[in-house]
Amino acid sequence: MKIMVAVKRVIDYNVKIRVKNDETGVETANVKMSMNPFDEIAIEEGVRLAEAGTAEELVAVSMGGDGTQETIRTALAMGADRGIHVASDEALEPLAVAKLLKALADKESPDLIILGKQAIDDDSNQTGQMLAALLGWSQGTFASKLEFDGGHVSVTREIDGGLETLRLAMPAVITTDLRLNTPRYASLPNIMKAKKKTIDQMSPEDLGVDVTPRLTTLKVVEPAKREAGVMVETVEELLDKLKNEAKVI
């Protein structure tokens, strides 16, 4: 089985986000970047399947500027066999990413595509679903457990009422949830080996995909600051405020 995993370069989750002065976006200059945490889970699952002998090849794919290659190298150090970098300076929206992944899937012919359920920069949670629709493949979103049986994969996912298990015919698109696994840290020897692994580079034009943005960001602002609380002397005063000021009762 051949697996393709999509990874995204985002602002590190430990960094405090700052909005640009002109409110056109968030500040990314001189900010620590790292792999999207949900994509780390996707790579880890692919590596585990390769180690178990279920997968024969694991291909890491990412899209963006030159810094994206660093994210691909991280995936290679975790255990991916080779990487693909789709170079683009455009701000890639979920639909454009899904179209690029679809074009790559047509070229690479993977049996399984794994993505993080969402990226922590835009929280769109759209790319996996769009990709499955474009390919016409089965999809299992928010996966917390995977089990393979011949040409099928059973996907356990959390829903409001408990757990749901889907049995999907392959090829399939899977998006990962936090409980699927715990990603490993890349060891120094593997980091050194990753520098010798192949990263193929191409452009959206090579894949025949138009990535022109379809959305316009009007303004980006910080969340409203939370107002300070007040102390009340009696239960009656609390009930009065809940009823007449907060209007929750």
Which contiguous run of DSSP H or E holds residue 5?
strand 2-6
Specify the residue for token string 């099928």: 152
The pLDDT assigned to 156 comes to: 95
Specify the residue for token string 């994509």: 39
Domain extent, residue 70, equals 2-224
- Residue 79 is assigned to a structural domain of this protein: yes
- Residue 248 is assigned to a structural domain of this protein: no
What residue ranges of the chain have pLDDT lower than 50? none
* Non-local CB neighbours of 35 within 8 Å, separated by 6+ positions: 7, 8, 9, 10, 43, 71, 74, 75
- Residue 241 is assigned to a structural domain of this protein: no
Q: What CATH number corresponds to the domain at position 71?
A: 3.40.50.620
Q: What are the E-state strand segments in the chain?
A: 2-6, 9-11, 33-35, 57-64, 82-87, 112-116, 138-149, 152-159, 162-169, 172-176, 199-202
- Residue 29 is assigned to a structural domain of this protein: yes
Number of domains in the chain: 1
SS3 assignment, position 179:
helix
- Residue 216 is assigned to a structural domain of this protein: yes
- Residue 39 is assigned to a structural domain of this protein: yes
* Non-local CB neighbours of 76 within 8 Å, separated by 6+ positions: 60, 82, 83, 193, 194, 197, 199
Specify the residue for token string 């980091």: 191
CA nearest to 123, candidates 241, 10, 248? 10
Render pLDDT for 209-221 as a digit per residue (tens, 0 to 9).
Answer: 999 888 888 888 8
Specify the residue for token string 């996966």: 143
- Omega before 171 within 30 of 0, i.e. cis: yes
Q: Are strands 172-176 and 112-116 parallel, antiparallel or unpaired?
A: parallel
- Residue 162 is assigned to a structural domain of this protein: yes
The pLDDT assigned to 26 comes to: 83
pTM value is: 0.85
SS3 assignment, position 150:
coil
The pLDDT assigned to 105 comes to: 96
- Residue 230 is assigned to a structural domain of this protein: no
